[in-house]
Amino acid sequence: MSPVLSRLARTLQLSAIAALLGVTAVHAQLHDKKTLTAVLEADVRVLDPSFTTVYITRTFGFMVYDTLFSQAEDGSVKPQMLESFDVSPDKMVYKFVLRDGLRFHDGSKVTSADVVASLQRWGQKDALGKALTAATKSLVATDEKTIVLTLGKPYGQVLQTLGKPSAMVPFIMPARLAKTPLSEQVPEIIGSGPFVFKRSEWKPGSQMTFERFKDYVPRKEAADFLAGGKVAKVDRVIWKVIPDANTAISALQAGEVDYVQYPSFDMLKLLQKDPSVQLVSAKGAGMFMGHFRLNHLEKPFDDPAIRRVVNMAVDSSKFMAALGVPPEFAVENCLAYFSCGGTYESNAGSELVAPRTVAAAKAALAKTRYKGEKITILQGTDIEAPRVSGEVLAQTLREVGFNVDLQSMDWGSVVSKRAAKTGWHLFSVHNAGYDMANPLTNLYIGNNCADYPGWSCDERMTKKLAEFRETADLAKQKELAADIQKLAYETTPSVVWGQFAQPAALSKELKGMINSSIPVFWNVSK
Amino acid sequence: MPRLILSRLMATIPVVAIVALFIFLMLRLSPGDPAIIMAGDNATPAELAAIRAQLGLDQPLILSFLRWAGQVLQGDLGMSLFAHIPVTELIGQRLEPTLMLTLCATLFSVTVAVPLGVVAGIHQGKLIDRAVMVMVVLGFSLPVFLIGYGLVRELSIQAGIFPVQGYVSLFEDPLRSLHHLVLPTVTVGLAYASLVARMTRSSIIEVMKQDYIRTARAKGLRPRVVLGIHALKNASPPIITTIGAGVAVLLGGVVVTESVFAIPGLGRLTVDVVLRRDYPVIQGLLLLFSGLYFLVNLVVDILYVMVDPRVRT
């Protein structure tokens, strides 16, 4: 054998030895029953949950922080950090008493002063928080465990607001951190939730580690979505960043990770056949809602009749097919702005855009003053749902007779471009149903007449939203939500292009995983 | 030699300055706003303005550039807007995986490709040459992600020999580190090896036709000596150039390989920070890449001088 070949053979031998030795280490890692490894939707870029509405930061918040109230699977709101609460008969005074034994991760006691400071910070940032703050006369800590909220004007959704499941969630943090200026992120991540964030082990863009909080005192009740006892049954949770969906699924199949939040739709059939993997998906308001947000300031979309044509052209089944969503994970022909399966579901007003076909839209467009103006669609190409739905919409609108300019860019550029009042007509996005299911938190309806990209504004809707905000009666709320939806169909702040779930894939070894589109890792064991 | 190094270093200064200015302007004039990405969908204009002010993004362009240039001259690349850690630390975390992958891929490629190229070159037109050329064409043609997924499927999921993804630091556990690097090395190394093998073959064919080779043979030297002493040394300049260019490309970020194997290296970091407009990190990375390109070119030039005395004149 020549020297070169002999050296090559030696190198290969050494590699093989290294590989075999490494296999042992990998197997040891795979059989670690006390560590759960998950691949979530994205890397956590912002750690402060009262700084951003980005979903991954909200999910991070649920690991580390706790809330006064939490939402159960049936949509009801249950006390979480509270021992008890009282509401005055006129629903203007709320008294909250904290549970005993609550501690932050730095060892300090959770006090009512921490709660007040946290709610005050959150109340200046969150949409519902701002509404509650505007209605609040005073929020005071009367003793170490008691907080009294006194309203200055009626606000019908106090408990729902304090127990809201999606961003921004009113998480409780130490008062010293809650006093951080709003333009800055909190300098330390100290919560009182079931897991402690190990900042020293954080590798941005690669992985973050959480450890079970030994001093956490869970509620006695069984875990029920975000409510009930948050019992951490694993010692460590590792969130790994694996941007490639195929690799994440391969890692799951090889047993290197236990949970993948969003396998791509085209892999679902394969995963359904894999005996080592289970798929779980949320229903109702836990699903995603796809929307096209329209710019009401840009001609010709200043004309409501032309905007309605867009709504008429959108057949959700076409979008679901293009995205590859299997029928069992989509809601067929959902016409509810506030999510199908949500508390405020209705079809009110949808007759205005029926039938939703290209032919009908074409006929309707012919009756408008549209004269072939360019319609600019901002298409975010780095996220699957906006990319695919943007393409389908462009083609659909061309068939209807619009002159379409599809501008492809990364999502960061879409967000930047849409901030300008001109230069674009619509963009596609998908939001958590939890956010869209309430008229006040629905981004495109709740921001009516606000300085928010799209700038939809209807005075009648403003009045109805105010009425909705003030009433605590569910029947009345449903009636008002239907009225608001009728106005939405008339004025088209956005167009719903589909409601769908993106199921999570997890190892069959995991027991007790809570079925939710917000991945939480208490109650789960290996 | 010292004069060569010094003159190259001096030539680098204006190049780096121009690169720095170009990078800065290109980033700040292109669309995108880290404040919006950071704050999420529901931030008000007032909140965004406050975040921009806090991040220093509301300053005039020229002031921002001068401040950044001043920091760079003191060796400070600034802080990541998102991770809130120094850019140098963030890049430092990602440098090791990319350096290790580059080193392993280069070693693998050179170890495999140079002997294959030599064998093919000295047996030009024969079966072994054709077999090598088929492998080279395949190595070039197969997309990196296909090779990666194929290896993962067969050797990780089916056979369970290698891990699917991830990186373990060499300083943490050397054996596990090498174990994790085997599949990425082969994946990225195949295309690179094909390039080197092809270049080696061409150079050997060219050199073997030279008069001095015929003379050496006529002198009765053994074929191994002719090949090792006379042919390979003279065939090496273009091979070194190819290897050097390959190293520079690998260091610049093997994005696909790093993504397929979830290796937290510089390639993935670059994509991430560009998408989120983390300006200080993008600027730091591009400066680093231009420095690395310069370094690799310098090493190639020095090797040239070592193997080819004609270059010294």
Pairing of strands A374-380, A403-409: parallel
Rounded CA gap, B112 and A58, in Å?
Answer: 49
Rounded CA gap, A478 and A75, in Å?
Answer: 14
Mean pLDDT of B45-68: 84
In chain A, which among 411-430 make CB contacts under 8 A with chain B? 411-413, 415-417, 419, 429
From the candidates B89, B111, B165, B229, which should be mutated to test the interface with A, based on the most A CB atoms within 10 A? B165
- Cβ separation B264–A241 shorter than 8 A: yes
Q: Is the ipTM of this complex over 0.85?
A: no
Nearest to A153 by CA among A167, A166, A168, A138: A138
Tell me how far the alpha carbon of residue A376 is from its chain's centroid.
27
In the chain, the amino acid numbered A309 is: V
From the candidates B42, B182, B273, which should be mutated to test the interface with A, based on the most A CB atoms within 10 A? B42
Identify the DSSP state of A267.
Answer: G
User: 10-residue block means of pLDDT along chain A (526 residues)?
Assistant: 46 50 50 88 89 90 97 92 96 96 97 97 91 96 96 94 92 96 90 96 91 96 95 96 91 94 90 92 89 96 97 94 92 92 93 94 96 95 91 97 94 83 95 91 92 94 95 94 97 96 93 90 94
In chain A, which among 300-359 make CB contacts under 8 A with chain B? none
- Cβ separation B40–A53 shorter than 8 A: yes
Check CB contact of A471 with chain B, cutoff 8 Å.
no
- Residue A411's closest chain B neighbor by CA? B275
pLDDT of residue B101: 93
Structural element, H or E, at residue A293: strand A288-294
Two structure tokens written together for B159: 């056979």
- Please list every residue in chain A whose beta carbon sits closer than 8 Å to the beta carbon of residue B47: 125, 182-183
Nearest to A413 by CA among A443, A444, A385, A381: A381
| Identity of the residue in A167, A184, A253 whose CB atom sits nearest the CB atom of B40 | A167
- Cβ separation A45–B111 shorter than 8 A: no
pLDDT of residue B252: 64
Check CB contact of A185 with chain B, cutoff 8 Å.
yes
Two structure tokens written together for B21: 């200015």
| Identity of the residue in A4, A184, A207 whose CB atom sits nearest the CB atom of B115 | A4
In chain B, which among 142-181 make CB contacts under 8 A with chain A? 149, 152-153, 156-157, 160-167, 173, 175-176, 178-180
Domains and CATH numbers, chain B: 95-277 (1.10.3720.10)
Pairing of strands A374-380, A426-432: parallel
Nearest to A244 by CA among B95, B185, B264, B188: B264
- Residue B115's closest chain A neighbor by CA? A4
Which residue is it, tokens 């529901």? B42
Those residues whose C-beta lies under 8 Å from the C-beta of residue A450, and which sit 6 or more positions away, are B44
pLDDT tens-digit series, residues B239-267: 888 888 778 777 765 788 888 899 999 98
**A277 by DSSP, 3-state: which?**
strand
Q: What are phi and psi of A494, to 5 degrees?
A: -155, 170
Q: How many CB pairs under 8 A join A and B?
A: 171
Pairing of strands A66-67, A504-507: unpaired
Check CB contact of B109 with chain A, cutoff 8 Å.
no
- Residue A382's closest chain B neighbor by CA? B275
Check CB contact of A474 with chain B, cutoff 8 Å.
no
Check CB contact of A443 with chain B, cutoff 8 Å.
yes
- Residue B263's closest chain A neighbor by CA? A206
Half-sphere exposure of residue A175, counting CA atoms within 13 Å on the CB side? 12
pLDDT of residue A115: 98
Pairing of strands A330-331, A236-240: unpaired
| Identity of the residue in A8, A23, A53 whose CB atom sits nearest the CB atom of B161 | A23
Rounded CA gap, A441 and A443, in Å?
Answer: 6
Ramachandran category for residue B293: left, alpha or beta (phi over 0 → left; psi -120 to 50 → alpha):
alpha
pLDDT at position B311 over 70: no
User: Do B48 and B38 form a contact (C-beta atoms < 8 A)?
Assistant: no
Beta bridge partners of A203: A207
pLDDT of residue A5: 44
Check CB contact of B40 with chain A, cutoff 8 Å.
yes
Beta bridge partners of A304: none
Check CB contact of B65 with chain A, cutoff 8 Å.
no
**A3 by DSSP, 3-state: which?**
helix
- Cβ separation B156–A167 shorter than 8 A: no
Those residues whose C-beta lies under 8 Å from the C-beta of residue B91, and which sit 6 or more positions away, are B77, B266, B269, B281, B284, B285, B288
- Cβ separation A25–B264 shorter than 8 A: no
Rounded CA gap, B250 and B246, in Å?
Answer: 6
From the candidates A6, A7, A15, which should be mutated to test the interface with B, based on the most B CB atoms within 10 A? A15
From the candidates B91, B164, B185, B278, which should be mutated to test the interface with A, based on the most A CB atoms within 10 A? B164
- Please list every residue in chain A whose beta carbon sits closer than 8 Å to the beta carbon of residue B269: 205
Two structure tokens written together for A271: 């995963």
pLDDT tens-digit series, residues B186-231: 999 998 899 899 989 999 998 888 888 888 888 888 888 888 778 8
| Identity of the residue in B82, B152, B268 whose CB atom sits nearest the CB atom of A250 | B152
| Identity of the residue in B42, B53, B157 whose CB atom sits nearest the CB atom of A443 | B42
Check CB contact of B28 with chain A, cutoff 8 Å.
no
Q: What are phi and psi of A332, to 5 degrees?
A: -70, 130
- Burial class of residue A53 in the structure, from the number of CB atoms within 10 Å of its CB (0-12 exposed, 13-18 middle, 19+ buried): buried
From the candidates B33, B41, B149, B161, which should be mutated to test the interface with A, based on the most A CB atoms within 10 A? B41
Distance from the B29 Cα atom to the nearest Cα atom in chain A, whole angstroms: 12
